[in-house]
Structure 1
């Protein structure tokens, strides 16, 4: 190849734009250089760039899928959280109702016990009053008898 270059250089007569064997020779050299560079540098570099672009695109697609899955999970968990809150509010309401029911039942039971104790105490007081009255009547009769005996004597008694 260098022989052709030297041969072309010897045959050239020397103008700035002389068209002789150097023009096709330079075109062939340029094409040969382009083919060599393409085979050695550009194809592997293009392949590496294409692989990297494919990898990046795959990672982007994977990230989009994961984002969609995470958004779906967030939405699902928010829905479950709403349901759990609703259930807990229902449980709290039921517990409050049950507590109020128990308190009212215990209050009624205590009132009934108080009424029963009051009635029992009232009956006991009434019975003690009657006993006291009868004992008093007996004492009054005994005292009356003694007074009559002392005042009138034993003969009228």
Structure 2
């Protein structure tokens, strides 16, 4: 009896159109599928797409800003390096100028000191000559006195 029931059900199914019965359910399923797709698109995919687009815009904007900052930093670094090179050149020229000025001042002081030393040497030589003359005249006078005394003593004898 069960085998008969199954055979009857299969026969009944075969008469009604087979495994897929194309009637009003196919368009209804297609409409349901389209509505479900539209709802899912509106609820899940559009916000997700907007979030992804927003993130892409954010990343693109940050990447552009980072490139601009990097270019600006490179320009500033180059400018600072040029300024540093100029400052070094100015410092070297200032040092060379200061050394030249110090050398000139040292030469002037040396010449002045040599001049003062020469003047003092000449003054000392004059004083020595004067003292020598005074001493010689004093000695001559003493010699004259001693000579007279010797003569006097010789003449008295």
TM-score interval (norm. to shorter): 0.7 to 0.9
Q: Which residue, 109, 131, 141 being the options, matches 1:138?
A: 141
Q: Distance in 1 between matches of 2:52 and 2:18?
A: 45
Q: Distance in 1 between matches of 2:128 and 2:118?
A: 15
Aligned with 2:115 (options 112, 116, 140): 112
Which stretch shows the higher mean deviation, 124-133 or 47-56? 47-56
Give the drift of 1:14. 5.8
Once the 2 structures are TM-superposed, how far is the Cα of residue 68 of structure 1 from its aligned partner? 1.2
1:43 partner SS: helix
Query: 2:24 aligned with 1:16, yes or no?
Result: no
- Deviation of 1:116 after TM superposition, in Å, equals 1.1
Residue by residue over 1:38-75, the C-alpha shift from the partner in whole angstroms, topping out at 9 and shown as x without a partner, is 12221122122112211221111111111111111111
Cα deviations by residue, 1:53-98 (Å, 9 ceiling, x for unpaired) = 1122111111111111111111111111111111111111111111
Report the alpha carbon displacement of residue 125 of structure 1 after superposing the two structures with TM: 0.9
Is 1:102 the counterpart of 2:105? The answer is yes
1:82 and 2:85 matched: yes
Q: How many residues align?
A: 142
Q: Could you tell me how far 1:129 is from its partner in structure 2?
A: 0.9
**Structure 1 residue runs without a partner (length 5+):** 1-11
Q: Cα offset for 1:106?
A: 1.0
Matches within 5 A, 1:1-157: 13=16, 15-153=18-156
TM-score by length of 2: 0.81
Structure 2 alignment gaps of length 5 or more: 1-14
**1 or 2 for the larger relative contact order (CA 8 Å, sep ≥6)?**
1
The offset of 1:119, in angstroms, is 1.0
